[in-house]
Each structure stands twice: as C-alpha cells, then as structure tokens.
Structure 1
Amino acid sequence: MSIKYGLLALLERGQAYGYQLRASFEESTGATWPLNIGQVYTTLARLERDELVQALGENPQGQRPYEITMAGRAALATWFATPVSGTERPRDELAIKLALALSTPGVDIRAVVQTQRTASVRALQEYTRLKSRATGGDDISWLLIIDAMIFRVEAEVRWLDHCEASLLRHQRAQREASAATAAAPEEAPEPMPSTTGETTPR
C-alpha cells in the first residue's frame, strides 16, 4: 500500500493536519509501518498538486489542516475497488538473494537459508506473543494486521523449508551423476583394418 492512499483514507474521516495524520496512520497499522513527518508532508504536497486534497487555512495553533477533495474520494474509491496485483507489490528481496547466492562463488546457500529461517521463526514468535496479549477490546484492524504478518511469516518459513529440501535433492542428484560418470567403463577402441586384411586395435 502506498502512503498516498493511506492518507486519503484517513482524510476521508475528516480534516487533519500532518502530525495527526502520522499518528492516525501508525495507530491504524498497529505501528508496523512507522512514518516520519517528512514523508507525510511530502505526500500531502503531491496530493495537493494532483488536486486530491486541499490545504485549509491555519488554525489558531498555527497548524494547517487538509481535507480530501471529490477527486480524492474518487481515487480512494477506485483503490478500494481494485485488487492488489502481484506485479505491484515490492520485489521479494529474499527470493532474489537466494537466487543470487546460488550463482555467487564462495556463498554457502544452506547457511543463508538457515540464517533467514532463524530470523523468521523469531519474528513469528514475537508476532504470536503480541497477538496473545490482545484483549477483546483491542482494535480489530490491528489484530487483522498482526494475523496477516503471522500468516506471511509462516508461509516464508514453509518456503525456506521447501528451498532447503530442493537444494538437498539437487546436490544428491549431482553427486549421483558424478559417481555414475566416474564408474562408467571406458569404451574399447575400435579395431583398424590392416594392410594384410587383419584388424589391429587403434
């Protein structure tokens, strides 16, 4: 999700200024996506440029709130109605790292897999602890985000297990192929015809 649509969704609730938007964004995402105030104001400037939000006059405290425009509401509605495409998601750095590790001299691919699995299992334990501390009164949006993170890490651990098993099968097949090649008997040389009509070995 881009910050752009997150801010539009927050402004759909009502007018807000930068620091309010940052606090609301982090609260809505369970603090799993921290923002700095510079990101917020840079995004607001782009939204204002594209006429998706408009800045209002400063309030008595010197704060400048923003509100969503009709064009912003239309863009937000389109975003909610459009499924997230796999090509629009960030590239999978872990998959790219493993692919490169396979072809990089001196890299122990199994050590790379094991290091990542250890970190993923640790993250899974932490997310599970966070969820276990939740009570019935906790924000359902935060619980849904924690569940999504748990499911994602569980899938990553399963994929790493699959990677390790595939590597073991590949290495075993390579060893067997090398052993079969080494054990294969050499072909006997074909005889060469002699000038006397008899054959002699080459």
Structure 2
Amino acid sequence: MPARTLNATAASLLGFLHEGPMSGWDLVATAQARIGDFWSLTQSQVYRELAAMAADGLVEAHERGRRDRRPYAITDAGRSAFTAWVTRAPEPEAIRFPLLLTIMFGRHVPAERLAEIVAQHRATHAARLAAYEQFETELPPGAAEAEPYAVATLAFGLAYERAMLAWFAGLPPAIRGD
C-alpha cells in the first residue's frame, strides 16, 4: 500500500503507464491529448507526482534515454494502488467554471467586454465540438465494442459541448451583446 493516498493526478499517470514506460514529458503530452479537455495537469505536477510515486515504490525510473528523458514504468505496487483508486467511488464533481464567475459579477464588466468574453468562450466550445465530431467520424467500425470507455468519454464530450452551446444561445441578450 502506498505511503499516501493517490490523488487523481497521480492515478491518471499510473493509468497511462499501464500502456508502457513513459518519460514525464511523454506523460504531459499524453495527458494533454487524451484528458486535457476535462482534467488539467501541469508539467510541474507530473514531475512532482513521479518523484513521489517513485519514492513510494509505485513507479520505477529507468536509465535516461534520448534528449536526457527518464522513462518511468509502473510497478506491481503501482498497479495495485491504481486498481484501488480506479475502483473506488469517485467524489462528486465540483464545477469550477471561471466564465460563470465572470458572468455572476457581470454587472461590473462593461457590456462590450462581457459580450466579447462570452463570444470567445462560445467559439472555444464550438471548436471543441467540431473536433469531437471529427474524431467521432474517424472512429473505426466496432469502436464502441472495442473501446467502450474511450467512446463513452467522447460521448460525454459531445453532449457537454452541445449543452454548452445551447446554454450560450439561451443567455440573455444583455450578456450575449445582442
């Protein structure tokens, strides 16, 4: 058992390491590509967690490779800790949506600036939806059976972005700048 309880960042790194050894740089890139739209990791967090997990025996560092990158591999203890983490009931999500905070205090923001901020965020969500829809069209036949977990995550992303765009469309004109 690890000396500390795994947090979601450490657990996600262990999840990625199930696929094979990766350097901290590889883990950052993998996390940004695969979970970056719904879970953020910084480079400093990744290296801090790798050092802590190595000290706890959850990962082991290999010899430095190209570009002086040190790959890490998950250990049996790391697999056990990951299994314990991933099979527990997750905590309820906490919404931290900075745009909502800005809108909450929108009466203190010039109307043109608020409309500009809302438009920028709407464009971000529209672009993300377009990317998810493109990814969905590129799924091979049978993907839902072969990769139900990734497909379910994609389905959430699609539903979320569609809901966000509907929310933007339903904002009062004073907020949208109409």
Q: Is the 8 A contact 1:110 1:164 kept in 2?
A: no
Q: Is the 8 A contact 1:28 1:142 kept in 2?
A: no
Correspondent of 2:48 among 38, 42, 46? 42
SS of residue matched to 1:4: helix
Partner of 1:122: 127
SS of residue matched to 1:126: helix
Describe the shift of the 1:31–1:132 C-alpha distance in structure 2 as closer, same or farther (beyond 3 A).
farther
SS of residue matched to 1:66: strand
2-structure distance, mates of 1:29, 1:114: 26
Partner of 1:55: 60
How many residue pairs were aligned? 163
Describe the shift of the 1:46–1:113 C-alpha distance in structure 2 as closer, same or farther (beyond 3 A).
same
Q: Render the CA deviation track for 1:68-103: whole Å, top value 9, x for unaligned.
A: 35376235413432224123x5x1112112113x22
Q: Render the CA deviation track for 1:37-76: whole Å, top value 9, x for unaligned.
A: 7654332102223x15142564999955433353762354
Task: In structure 1, list runs of 5 or more residues that go unmatched.
Answer: 169-202
TM-score (norm 1): 0.57
TM-score (norm 2): 0.63
Partner of 2:110: 106
1:85 and 2:92 correspond: yes
2-structure distance, mates of 1:65, 1:119: 34
Task: In structure 2, list runs of 5 or more residues that go unmatched.
Answer: 1-6
Residue type of the partner of 1:67?
Answer: I
Q: Is the 8 A contact 1:54 1:68 kept in 2?
A: yes
1:8 and 2:14 correspond: yes
Residue type of the partner of 2:50?
Answer: L
SS of residue matched to 1:134: coil
Partner of 1:177: none
1:136 and 2:141 correspond: yes
CA RMSD between the two structures: 4.2
Instruction: Give the % identical residues.
Output: 14
Describe the shift of the 1:14–1:107 C-alpha distance in structure 2 as closer, same or farther (beyond 3 A).
closer
Describe the shift of the 1:72–1:133 C-alpha distance in structure 2 as closer, same or farther (beyond 3 A).
closer
Find the structure with the greater CA-based Rg: 1
Partner of 2:4: none
